[in-house]
Amino acid sequence: MRPLIAALALICLAGCGSGGGGGGETTSPASTTFTMDLAADPGALDPQGSAVSALFGLTQFAYDNLVAVAADGTILPQLASAWTVDGTTLTFDIKSGVTCADGAPFTAQTVVDNISYVEDPENKSPFLGVFIPAGATASASGSKVTVKLPAPAPFALNAFSNLPMVCDAGMKNRASLKAATNGTGPYVLTEAVPSDHYTYALREGYTWGPGGATTAEKGMPAKVVVKIVANETTAANELLAGTINAVQIVGPDADRLAGAGLKSVGIQALVGLQWYNHAEGHLTSDPAVRMALTQALDLKQLQVAITSGKGAPATQFATLAPSGCAGDAVTGHLPAFDATAAGATLDAAGWAKGADGIRAKGGKPLSVTLLSDSALGSAGSGAAELAVAAWKAVGIEAKAVHQNQTQLSGAIFGTGDWDVAWVPVNVSTPDQIMPFLSGPAAPKGTNFAAIDNDGYLAAATKAMGLTGAEGCADWFAAEQALYKAADVVPFANSVIPTFLKGAELSIVGSIVPTSIRMLG
């Protein structure tokens, strides 16, 4: 994920990357503050407790992973100095001298405790099955951690590059992590004001970052302030005024910032992904309804709208670079846009139009609500209204409701009170999204849409037995089983820019904290 919902209103599950700044004059960290705007509040800060992208992005400041992934896909040392992969056995040599923010040592046993915590279904970590295969066990001997997998995992190291490690005190008192941090990362949280701002202070003596990154580099900010600003226009104005240093822009304000000559760092992402609630009791549990809802949509029109004309059609689930599979699994495999066919599909399923033009069956109207992420901005809300209008045209009563990430996550993973949702789940390898497309439904699992597609599961299971890109053809076949059945509908990719002023940084899935440099 980055499994799940980075500073984009996405469920972002990609690999964390290497450090390193760029050129330009940098300033001393002694008195510098890097300020960025984030569109949504991260909610409770336990780094292993939620999949929302806002939290995943912030997690990188205070927590480390065993390994990191560079922009070119190279695996880099982080908490682990060396590793091996031998079939279903992985070993990690944990670096000596790594300390937690509270001064306690970070040990191989700490790693084992983290893995055991995520593996326990009672803890309901959304990372189970995503960054750690279900059924994996770990043991420690000295500084070495041995992980036994229940079956081969095609991108095992990539997965562990996304699992944030919590220190011992945080493991013993999980409640303490809701509004504080307890990790080995380059920063430590010093102030948390939910829905307003979060402040992080630089740690001295940090030398175990991605690829050997340290906090002694000239230009690293002494303080990082993350402000919660939901309105993109407001955030863009703050950047232009110089009161912040960075903001990710999804909508049309990007043109204004680019026109002002501001530089940006882009990330290719899947921004248009339509999910249906397959759970019993929802109208969208009917395959005919899902098919008709898909046939009624001009996906090209939605793609243009949601990306403000800058995007492209979706190609696969694993969009974040460096992607584990190259190619296009989507084109030609989604139901074609055909409003007449949508009506015929509903007619055949017994959904007849009434005098008011709304279809009904057994006295129950065909009525759906589309949830979309408010962080997609005006482009997202405009696209959602186009979808609603298309559904109404074929006799489906529909409305769009725009929610922030916290609300949206609460609906899809908690209450289950939704029919259709635009929730972009961004991953870098296709195995990372498998728990969202199969297995136990929420709240017992991360399969929040309660999808049960035998074709997907058969092909994905075959792909899981192959290593890396060897399984890509099977991964694509698995995805296509979902697309053809209209079980889930990807429709738009776009390069999402993070605009900068007075700073530079790198993004590999999310912002790499050790890459931030303040410019003089």
pLDDT tens profile 229-258: 989 899 999 999 999 999 998 878 999 999
Phi and psi of 344, rounded to 5°? -65, -35
pLDDT at 459: 97
pLDDT at 1: 32
What would you report as the CA-atom Rg of the chain, rounded to the nearest whole angstrom?
Answer: 23
Q: Return the residue matching tokens 């501001």.
A: 262
Q: What's the pLDDT band for 4 if we cut at 50, 70, 90?
A: very low
pLDDT tens profile 143-191: 999 999 998 888 889 889 999 999 999 999 999 999 999 999 999 999 9
Mean residue pLDDT across the chain:
91
Q: Return the residue matching tokens 């001064």.
A: 103
Q: What is the mean pLDDT of residues 205-209?
A: 96
Q: Which residues contact 184 (CB under 8 A, 6 or more apart)?
A: 63, 64, 79, 98, 99, 100, 101, 106, 165, 167, 208
Q: What's the pLDDT band for 27 if we cut at 50, 70, 90?
A: low
Percentage above 70 pLDDT, the chain = 94
In DSSP terms, 99 is beta-bridged to 105
pLDDT at 276: 98
Question: Would you mind telling me the total number of residues written for the chain in this entry?
Answer: 520
What is the rounded distance in angstroms from the CA atom of residue 25 to the CA atom of residue 12? 32
In DSSP terms, 148 is beta-bridged to 89, 137
pLDDT tens profile 318-346: 998 788 899 999 999 999 999 999 999 99
Write down the CATH number for the domain with range 269-495: 3.10.105.10
pLDDT at 405: 76
- Which range among 61-70, 221-230, 399-408 shows the weakest confidence by mean pLDDT? 399-408
pLDDT at 5: 33
Q: What is the mean pLDDT of residues 18-30?
A: 50
pLDDT at 14: 37
3-class SS of residue 119: helix
| In the chain, domain spans | 11-262+501-518, 269-495
Which of 23-27, 122-126, 371-375, 404-408 has the highest mean predicted lDDT (pLDDT)?
A: 122-126
pLDDT at 456: 98
Q: Which two tokens stand for residue 284?
A: 């969208």
pLDDT at 31: 61
Closest CA to 215 of 187, 191, 246: 187
Q: How far is CA 473 from CA 334, 362, 466, 470, in A?
A: 17, 43, 11, 8
10 with 426: CB under 8 angstroms? yes
DSSP state of 412: I
253: left (phi over 0), alpha (psi -120 to 50) or beta: alpha
pLDDT tens profile 247-289: 998 878 999 999 999 999 998 899 999 999 999 999 999 999 9
DSSP state of 27: -
Q: Which residues contact 158 (CB under 8 A, 6 or more apart)?
A: 15, 69, 75, 324, 428, 429, 432
Q: Is the pLDDT of residue 7 over 80?
A: no
Write down the CATH number for the domain with range 11-262+501-518: 3.40.190.10
Closest CA to 497 of 259, 196, 211, 163: 259
Q: What's the pLDDT band for 8 if we cut at 50, 70, 90?
A: very low
Q: Which two tokens stand for residue 311?
A: 């995007």
Q: Is the pLDDT of residue 52 over 50?
A: yes
Closest CA to 274 of 250, 296, 248: 296
What is the rounded distance in angstroms from the CA atom of residue 436 to the CA atom of residue 442? 9
Number of other residues whose CB lies within 10 A of the CB of residue 184: 28
Q: What is the mean pLDDT of residues 457-472?
A: 92
Percentage above 90 pLDDT, the chain = 75
pLDDT at 29: 53
Q: What is the mean pLDDT of residues 19-30?
A: 51
Residue type, 295: Q
Q: Which residues contact 427 (CB under 8 A, 6 or more apart)?
A: 1, 2, 3, 13, 14, 317, 318, 319, 320, 433
Q: What's the pLDDT band for 11 if we cut at 50, 70, 90?
A: very low
pLDDT at 73: 85
